[in-house]
Amino acid sequence: MKYYVASGVPNAEKVNLAAAALNAAGHTRTYDWTTHGDVSKTPDARKQEVAGNESRGVAEAELVVLLLPGRFGTHAELGIALATAANKRILLWSETSAPFDGTEGFCVFYHHPAVERIVCPFEELLAALTNI
């Protein structure tokens, strides 16, 4: 299965750990944005290239895993995942329920019917990803 892992740049290490778990299960990453990280200070042409690559990565994925907390890009990727949700599994992970119950941040699209919300320690998520 092809997958994409989204999150904020500060979570790049967790993104790569999640990707390693999915790779170990035989799945294939559509795009690895962690190789370039933050492109906010790069020329516009580079930003456009990265935006296209990330958009295609999400759209082509059969599984999209989003790790909270995320920022603008993570939420854009959630939107792309929802817009291309046919035959796609969307997992949204948080270590606490705060983003889902509105205690700490809130996004109504976290509650979209196509989104599977997961609340658990990160190590439990990694274990679950190895069994997908």
Return the CATH number at 52.
3.40.50.450
Position of tokens 């993104």? 15
Regarding beta strands 63-67 and 89-94, do their DSSP bridges make them parallel or antiparallel, or are they unpaired? parallel
Given this model, what pLDDT does residue 102 score? 87
Tell how far CA 38 is from the center of its chain. 15
**pTM score > 0.75 for this model?**
yes
pLDDT in tens, 72-126: 999 999 999 999 999 899 999 999 999 999 888 789 999 999 999 999 999 999 9
> Which residues have C-beta within 8 Å of that of residue 36, sequence separation ≥ 6?
50
Domain that holds residue 57: 2-129
> pLDDT tens digits, residue range 71-80?
999 999 999 9
Domain count, the chain: 1
